[in-house]
Structure 1
Amino acid sequence: MQVTFQDILDARDRIAGQVDRTPVRHSRKLSELTGAEVWVKFDNLHYTGSFKERGALNRLSLLSPDERRRGVVAASAGNHAQALAYHGARLGVPVTIVMPEGTPFVKIEGTRRHGAKVVIKGLDFSGSTEEAHRLRDEEGFVFVSAFDDAGIVAGQGVCGLEFMEDAPELEALVIPIGGGGLIAGSSVAAKALKPDVRIFGVEAAMYPSFSMRRQGLKPKCGGQTIAEGIAIKAVGDIPYAIAEPLIEEVLVCEEADFERGVAFFATLEKTVAEGAGAGGLAALLAHPDKFRGMKVGLVLCGGNIDARMLAVVLNRELVRERRLVMYRIIGDDRPGMMSRMAGIIGELGGNIIEIVHDRLSLDVPAKGAEFDILVETRDGAHAEEIGDSLVEHGYALRR
C-alpha cells in the first residue's frame, strides 16, 4: 500500500487548525558543535509533546461513524498513545492503550490524563501489540497501529511537508526510525517538493530493525534503550515499502550518542528532547564527517522524557566532560583527614558535591579508610590539576 503526496496534502487539510505547525529554526550552536549547518523542527512543542499528533488525528478523522462508536485500541510506548488519547477525547472516540512494562511514568500518566484507558501488558512493544490485537478481537475495537497504517503515514508526512516549506534550502533530512511512519511520510513529502534532498534514517543499536531488514537479515533487537520511542523490533511493512527506496542510508547510533544528543539539546538549544527525539543530533555527533558543511534538517520528534532520566543524562554528560569527577583516596582514619583533603580541593576551586567515607572495604588497612569525593570541576584540565595536587600532598589517589 502506497501513500502519495496528494494523500499527505489531504491529511494536511484534514488536520489543519487542530494540530500545531511547529517551528523550524536554524541553530547556530548546534551548527558550531557538529560542523554542519543545522535546522531543527521542534516537534517536541506539540501539545502532547511529540510528532505523533498529525498521524493520530488524521487516522481518527478517517473512522466511520460505527468505528468511532466502537472505539480504538493501540499498542504504544507513549507518544502514539498520548496523541490518540488527546484527539480521541476531542472527537468523542473511546481509546484504549496497551503499554509495555517499563514505559516511562511521564508517558503513562500523560496518556491517562488525556482520558484513555491504559493497560500495562507485555515486556516490549511486540508483547503489547499482541494484547492490543486480543482486545480488538474480543471487544470489537478498531486497531490503530502506531506506524503500519496508510492514514498514520500520510499524517506524519505533514511533518516533512512543513519542514521543506519552511527551510527549502535543506540538502538533507535526518529522521529517527522506529516503526517507520515518520520517515516514510516525510520522505514522500520532502522528495515531492525537492527531489534531490537526501534522506538519512537513525536507529538505536539495540533495535536496528530497518537496517537489518534492508540487508536481508533477521533483526536482533532487545535491551533497555534511552530511545524507547524507536525501540521497535520490526519496522512496519507499509512504511518500509514506502521509505526503503527513498532513504540513502540508515545510521545506527549507540546509547552514548543518544545521551549526548539529549544533553546538547538541553544545554545548547535550551529545549527538552527524549532519547528518540535526539536521534538526528545523535547521528550528526556520531558521524560528523558525513554531514560537515551540509545543510541538514533534524526532526526533534519528541520531548517526553522522564524528569529523573533527564537528570541522569545531564549528569552523565558532566562526567564525560570531566566536569563531575570522583576522586577515590585511601588514607589514615584520623581526625582532620577529611578537612585537609577538602581544603586542597577547595583552594583549587573544586566544588565538593558528595563524600562517602568507607571503613569496611577489605582492601583498605583496618586503621585506614576509603574516601570517595565527588567534585564539580571546570573541565578536564582542572580535574587533572586537583588530582595532581592531592598526589603531591601525599594522598594515595585512585583515579
Structure 2
Amino acid sequence: MKKVLIKNARIVNEGKIREADVFIEDGIIVEIGESISPKSPDVNIFDAEGTYLLPGLIDDQVHFREPGLTHKDTIETGSKAAVAGGITSFFEMPNTLPQTTTIELLEEKFKLAAESSYANYSFMFGGTNDNLEEILKVDPKTTAALKLFLGSSTGNMLVDDEKVLEEIFSKSPLLIAVHCEDEETIQKNLQECIERYGDDIPIELHPKIRSEEACYLSSSRAVALAKKTGARLHVFHLSTAKEIGLFSNKKPLKDKKITAEVCIHHLWFNDSDYAKMGTFIKWNPAVKTKKDQEALLKGLLDDCIDVVATDHAPHTKEEKKNPYTKAPSGGPLVQHALPAMLQLHHQGKISLEKIVEKMCHNPAILFQIKDRGFIREGYKADLVLVDLNAPWAVQPDNIVYKCGWSPFEGVTFKSRVTHTFVNGNLVYKNFKHQPFAKVAERIEFDR
C-alpha cells in the first residue's frame, strides 16, 4: 500500500484553519493529528510548513472538447491543466461532437476518461427536445447531472419546447443543471446589431446582446418551473445582480432544491475590460457591469450563490480573433481559477475558508459526491498545497492549456499551487506534472 505523510500543514477545512499532519494510506486519509510519526520506513513524507492544505477542488462545469473538438482541448490536456490549478475532480459537459445525449455516448466518454484523465471525473448527460427516453435511463448514482441549454451556446443543444421542458423537469431522475439565457431576446438584440454593424459588431455590445433581460427571463422561468414540478435545479454561471434575487440563503445547502453558481470570469472581469481583452473575454452569459460583478461576489458571500466553478471552454487563438459574429464564446480557466480566487483573498474580498466552502465542500454537498470535497478521515485523499506568498506571472511558457493562451496572461498572482494529490498520488509539483499514471477515478454519488 502506498503511504504518504503530509507534515506541518495549515489545513483549511470546514470553516477552520488549523495546523496538523495528514496520513494517507492507499489513497485514503486515515489519520489527521497534531504530530503524526511515520509508522514504517516506506512512508513518503512531505513537509508542508509555510503552506496551506486544501481539499482538492471540484469543478462542476468544464468543456474538455472530447470527442470531436480535440484541436481545442481533450480530457487528457484539460485535466492536466486542472490539476495544475488544484482541481482534482470535474464534471464535463455534453456539448461535444457527437453530443452526449445517449447512454452509449455517455459510456464512451467514461472510457476515454478512464484511459487519460489526470483528475477524477464524471459527465453530465445532455437533454434535448426529443431524448426524454434516454434521460430516464440514466443512473443518478453514476452520472453527475442532466445539462439543459435554455439558451443556445457552443454546440446546438437548445431545449425550447415548453411541454418537453415541463416533462423533463417532472420526470428527470437527475439533478437538472441549466444554462439560462432567453433565446428570443438574444436573437432580437443580435439582429438589430447586425443590421447596424454587419459581422463586425463591437465586442462591448456583447452584454447588450446577451443582456440582463435575457438572463433574468430564462433564469426566472427555470426557477418557476422547478418550484412547480419539484425538480432539483442548479442554475449555472449567474452573471447579473438581478438574478441573485431568485435564490435564497434561508436553508442550509443540503436542504435546498434550487441552487446557483458563479464563475471565475464573472467575479474577475467586468465590461470595462472589453476594450483591452476584446473577444478573448467573450463568454455566454456575457461579462457584464461592475455593479453586477460586485453583486455576484456579495451573493456568494451571503450564500445565495452556492458554488464557484470555471465553465472552462477553450477555443484556439485563431478562432477567438474572428469578428464578433464568428468568434466563439468561452475561454480556458481551470489552471488559473484557484490562483484568481486567492488573489481576491489577498484583496480582502473573500476568506480562505469561504473559498474552500464554495469550491470544495459545496460541490460535494450539492451533487452528493461520495467521500470527496473535505479533509476528513476515511475520505479520498484529493488534496492541494498552496503557497500564499509565491508570486508568479502567467506567461506562455507556464500556460498548460492545449489552446496555448489564457485570459489571465500578464497577470501576476501572489499565490500558487505547489502540490496536487489525486487519490493520495502526487500528480503535480511546482509547475511540473509527475509521470502519468492511471490514478484518477470515476466519481461516485451517494444518492
Return the TM-score normalized by structure 2. 0.22
Higher relative contact order (CA 8 A, sep 6+): 2
Normalising by structure 1, report the TM-score. 0.24
* Structure with greater Cα Rg: 1
